[in-house]
Amino acid sequence: MKDYFEMVLKAREKGKTLAWTGFAVPVELFYAMDIVPFLVEQFCITDLVQKMARGKGFEYFDIGAGTGFSTEVCSPHLATVGMAKDGALPAPDFIVGANSPCDSGLVAFYVLNNLYKTPSFYLDYPYLQEEEAVRYFKRDLERLVKFLEEQTGRKMDYDRLREVMKLSAKAHNDFLKSVKLRKSIPAPFGGREAFSLLTIKLYNEGLLQTAEFFETFYRETQDKVDRKEGVLADERHRIAWFGGYPFFYTKITDWVEENFKTVVVGDSLCLLENKPIEDFSDPLECLARKDVGASYWKIARSFCYYEENLGRLSQEFQLAGAVFFASLGCKQNGGQMRMYQDVWRGKLGIPTLILDGDVRDPRIVSIDQMKARLKEFFSLLDK
């Protein structure tokens, strides 16, 4: 991660093209063309954590609202618009967004494009997930490659892209094997570490050091499982956590572990189906298949495609309870809460807590209020 941020920081002085990209934009294409992808939404989440710890950063919500951007969107996007308007971010050469994982991000990128007046491109993730969806998304990736070629004046080297995809697939497959090991009792790592894995993956897919990291992480995690070494020596409860986290206090899962002997063993990374990548003969199809099937982008997809997997995997991971974090501005998650609850509580009899909050703004629901709700929930599980 240090190397990544240094790469973004020094892109200009090294004569590199700097592109702003959304969460679901595949960075492999950018690395294959020697373009620096700046995942601006995730950076603003990370950066504001540091600022808010010093009592700063709240002004970006107000600056974002001052542009006319809705205050009812996901707060990281509101803050991103505020930081861009305030000149706190390096200006992009061009912008690439996507309609996944959320409408809020798509709208935010339109606003950012209006602020910077730069060329832009928007990927269209298909709603469904059959083979036609893969073919559709591959065609969209071909359009994106043409856009990148036009912006840089360079042609895509498909041999290099194939090598990038081999590294990406290696990291992806080891990541999938690692999160599946959370089925083990005791669980080898908790919810906060699992989400950190996703962050590393999103920024750096396709890089050698990323593949090496996930290979090492999987090997060390398997060793923990073999030794029956877990994040908690004595697990009282195993729960799922969906809907994101209060990023201003990601240690909330540590607090849950320490105070209630409860470990987060399941989330969208392992309780929704993901498939390993095996065929690299067509690197664009390989990339399309990986991203169309990625569980962490499925919140904007049809629930019927993974309802059965959610129920089956919830049983395999031996869940005693589930928490759905209902972030204020997340329309997709808000629309799916009842469907998740129907699977967990209605079909499996798993107690489920709808935890109100906001992923970025602690003024919406304080961490003390969240802790009070969680205390009530865990007393229910104990009974």
Q: Report how far residue 167's alpha carbon sits from residue 375's, in angstroms, rounded to the nearest whole number.
A: 43
pLDDT tens series, the chain, 383 aa: 899 999 999 999 999 999 999 989 999 999 999 999 999 988 888 777 777 767 778 899 999 999 888 888 888 899 999 999 999 999 999 999 998 888 888 889 999 999 999 999 999 998 877 899 999 999 999 999 999 999 999 999 999 999 999 999 999 999 999 999 999 999 999 999 998 998 899 899 999 999 999 999 999 999 999 999 999 988 999 999 998 889 888 899 999 999 999 999 999 889 888 889 988 889 999 999 999 888 666 655 666 767 888 899 999 999 999 999 998 888 777 778 888 899 999 999 999 999 999 988 888 999 999 999 999 999 999 88
For residue 110, how many other CB atoms are within 10 A of its CB?
12
Cα separation values, 310 from 51, 147, 183, 239, 262, Å: 37, 37, 14, 13, 20
pLDDT number for residue 296: 67
Instruction: Show the tokens assigned to 381.
Output: 């599980």
Instruction: Show the tokens assigned to 211.
Output: 């593949």
Q: How many domains does the chain have?
A: 1
pLDDT number for residue 50: 75
Query: Which residue(s) pair with 240 in the sheet?
Result: 266, 322
Domain that holds residue 93: 2-382
**For 226-238, how does the pLDDT look when each residue is reduced to its tens digit (9 = 90+)?**
999 999 988 999 9
Instruction: Show the tokens assigned to 241.
Output: 């956590």
pLDDT number for residue 354: 95
Q: What amino acid is encoded at 299 in this protein?
A: I
pTM of the model: 0.93
Three-state secondary structure readout of the chain: CHHHHHHHHCCCCCCCEEEEECCCCCCHHHHHCCEEEEEHHHHHHHHHHHHHHCCCCCHHHHHHHHCCCCCCCCHHHHHHHHHHHCCCCCCCCEEEEECCCCHHHHHHHHHHHHHHCCCEEEECCCCCCCHHHHHHHHHHHHHHHHHHHHHHCCCCCHHHHHHHHHHHHHHHHHHHHHHHHHHCCCCCCCHHHHHHHHHHHHHHCCCHHHHHHHHHHHHHHHHHHHCCCCCCCCCCEEEEEECCCCHHHCCHHHHHHHHHCEEEEECCCCCCCCCCCCCCCCHHHHHHHHHHCCHHHHHHCCHHHCHHHHHHHHHHCCCCEEEEEEECCCHHHHHHHHHHHHHHHHHCCCCEEEEEECCCCCCCCCHHHHHHHHHHHHHHHHC
pLDDT number for residue 195: 87
Instruction: Show the tokens assigned to 376.
Output: 């009530």
Instruction: Output the domain CATH number for residue 96.
Output: 3.40.50.11900
- Residue entry with tokens 């003969």: 281
Instruction: Collect all residues with Cβ–Cβ distance below 8 Å to 376 and sequence separation of at least 6.
Output: none
